[in-house]
């Protein structure tokens, strides 16, 4: 794989992306000056996204929400109106005047559909357009009726009964916590905290401190252990989703909330576990976290970016020990040295993103080690790109 000028050659353990890069559909002459090599990586990646994708996604989607969250935060940081306009243009085309959302269906009870709603809050505040507040209420109403486990944990989707997935914590809880803050809803804050504490109670491995991808209360799924209900492996991005969700939710949860200390401890415990499985050669994290170097495993960029973001932000905010900032910096250096390339027009590509991974469903996804390493590995998938933007912003790189 090509590396940036001046970067070290990628170690043999770093797997080359198995799919081609996303094509650049814009003329190279139109690449903005912000793509210069002396600009921050957050700027260069956002400018790349905007150049390649004037429309970030055709439908309401959690991956678009992740990227647009990065663009929104870059707009806050730089006060560049183009970034906020990009967010607003992409959101306004999906949110109708009555607050309905194109391609969104509440009756699917799909937590993935909540994540993009985070962008509705700044848009409502900035524009005063009632459509955004109405859309916020639609999403909040889904959570009021979301199916739950016997202890009150959200099902990941209607089609995944009795199952809590780590992914779902990022999909729903930052939106839910921000709603609670705006609405001064104490009960909602407690519900948010409950979701994190239930998930970690059921998925944390006592030996490693890592979190299994999912838990099935019914123990009926083919991927679930018949005694514990747990899935079989520590998927990197699943733990990354949980870590990012927790550092973002702590921004909103009142300091006086009775569960705050438990959530801060949970973050610290997970930070310890994640730091222990950081690859000592590259500073990156593996697709299957505790199986570094095993045949077929690879150093994965979305999980690595998520851990960099969560550890850097957690250390900066004082949620976890300052030493984790160095772990985050080393991880980011590893991403740049091994998983980022830049073309002759200055457009940035992020490699080694697991395209998708899940459990069960129509695809009969088994949750085995062989399953996680068999899913397509691509470049420039939004799940990696969005987390990379956030990580770069958090480190000020």
The answer on pLDDT for 10 being more than 70 is no
* Number of residues assigned to the chain: 397
Tokens of 109: 């009870």
Are 263 and 193 spatial neighbours (Cβ–Cβ below 8 Å)? yes
| Strands in 244-364 per DSSP E | 340-342, 348-350, 353-354
In Å, what is the CA distance from 366 to each residue of 12, 237, 345? Answer: 29, 17, 42
In a domain, 95, yes or no: no
In a domain, 312, yes or no: yes
pLDDT value of position 14: 52
pLDDT band per the 50, 70, 90 thresholds, residue 7: very low
Q: Look at residue 349 and give its three-state secondary structure.
A: strand
In a domain, 132, yes or no: no
pLDDT value of position 31: 67
The answer on pLDDT for 3 being more than 50 is no
Are 394 and 327 spatial neighbours (Cβ–Cβ below 8 Å)? no
pLDDT value of position 47: 98
Tokens of 283: 């500073």
- How many structural domains compose the chain? 1
pLDDT value of position 397: 84
In Å, what is the CA distance from 298 to each residue of 227, 295, 391? Answer: 30, 9, 20
Are 225 and 151 spatial neighbours (Cβ–Cβ below 8 Å)? no
Query: What would you report as the CA-atom Rg of the chain, rounded to the nearest whole angstrom?
Result: 20
In a domain, 297, yes or no: yes
CATH number at residue 41: 1.50.10.10
Q: What is the mean pLDDT of residues 275-300?
A: 98
Are 195 and 266 spatial neighbours (Cβ–Cβ below 8 Å)? no
pLDDT value of position 33: 83
State the residue for tokens 């930052």.
174
pLDDT value of position 85: 98
Q: Look at residue 298 and give its three-state secondary structure.
A: coil
In a domain, 221, yes or no: yes
- Measured from the Cβ of residue 186, the count of other Cβ atoms closer than 10 Å reads 11
Q: What is the mean pLDDT of residues 9-28?
A: 40
pLDDT value of position 26: 39
Tokens of 300: 């994965």
Of 111, 187, 113, 185, the C-alpha closest to 148 is 111
- Measured from the Cβ of residue 236, the count of other Cβ atoms closer than 10 Å reads 31
45-69 as b/e, with b when 16 or more CB fall inside 10 Å? bbbbbbbbbeebbeebbbbbbbbbb
In a domain, 2, yes or no: no
At residue 323's C-alpha, the angle toward residues 321 and 328, to 5°, is 110
pLDDT 10s digits, 213-254: 999 999 999 999 999 999 999 999 999 999 999 999 999 999
Rounded to whole angstroms, the Cα distance separating 326 from 388 reads 17
DSSP string, 158-178: TTSTTEEETHHHHHHHHHHHH
Residues identified as active-site? 167
Q: What is the mean pLDDT of residues 191-197?
A: 98
**Phi and psi dihedrals of 370, rounded to 5?**
-60, -35
Rounded to whole angstroms, the Cα distance separating 338 from 302 reads 13
pLDDT band per the 50, 70, 90 thresholds, residue 141: very high
With the CA atoms of 3, 38, 75 and 350 taken in that order, what torsion angle do they form, in degrees rounded to the nearest 10? 0
Domain with 215, as residue range(s), is 28-56+71-79+184-395
pLDDT 10s digits, 58-100: 999 999 999 999 999 999 999 999 999 999 999 999 999 999 9
In a domain, 338, yes or no: yes
In a domain, 349, yes or no: yes
pTM to 2 decimal places: 0.93
């Amino acid at each position: 794989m090509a590396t940036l000028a001046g970067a070290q050659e990628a170690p043999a353990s770093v797997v080359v992306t198995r799919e081609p890069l996303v094509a650049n559909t814009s003329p190279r002459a139109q690449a903005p000056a912000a793509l210069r090599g002396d600009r921050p990586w957050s700027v260069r990646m956002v400018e790349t996204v905007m150049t390649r994708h004037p429309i970030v996604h055709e439908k309401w989607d959690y991956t678009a929400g992740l990227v647009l969250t990065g663009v929104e935060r870059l707009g806050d940081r730089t006060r560049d109106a183009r970034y906020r306009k990009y967010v607003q243009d992409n959101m306004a085309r999906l949110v109708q005047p009555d607050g309905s959302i194109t391609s969104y269906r509440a009756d699917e009870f799909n937590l993935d559909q909540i994540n993009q709603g985070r962008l509705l809050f700044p848009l409502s505040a900035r524009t005063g357009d009632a459509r955004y507040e109405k859309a916020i209420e639609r999403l909040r109403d889904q959570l009021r009726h979301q199916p739950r486990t016997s202890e009150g944990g959200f099902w990941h989707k209607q089609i995944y009964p009795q199952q809590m997935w780590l992914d779902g914590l990022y999909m729903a809880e930052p939106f839910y916590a921000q709603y609670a803050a705006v609405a001064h809803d104490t009960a909602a804050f407690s519900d948010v905290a409950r979701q994190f504490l239930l998930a970690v109670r059921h998925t944390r491995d006592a030996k490693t401190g890592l979190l299994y991808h999912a838990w099935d209360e019914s123990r009926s799924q083919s991927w679930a252990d018949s005694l514990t209900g747990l899935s079989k492996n520590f998927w990197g991005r699943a733990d990354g989703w949980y870590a990012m969700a927790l550092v973002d939710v702590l921004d909103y949860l009142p300091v006086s909330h009775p569960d705050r200390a438990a959530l801060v401890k949970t973050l610290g415990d997970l930070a310890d576990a994640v730091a222990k499985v950081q690859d000592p050669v590259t500073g990156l994290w593996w697709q299957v976290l505790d199986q570094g170097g095993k045949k077929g495993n690879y150093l994965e960029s979305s999980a690595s970016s998520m851990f960099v973001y969560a550890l850097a932000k957690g250390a900066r905010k004082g949620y976890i020990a300052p030493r984790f900032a160095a772990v985050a910096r080393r991880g980011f250096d590893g991403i740049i040295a091994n998983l980022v390339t830049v073309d002759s027009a200055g457009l940035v590509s992020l490699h080694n993103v697991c395209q998708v991974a899940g459990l069960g469903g129509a695809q009969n996804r088994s949750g085995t080690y062989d399953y996680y390493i068999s899913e397509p590995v691509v470049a420039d998938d939004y799940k990696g790109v969005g987390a990379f933007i956030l990580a770069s912003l958090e480190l000020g790189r």
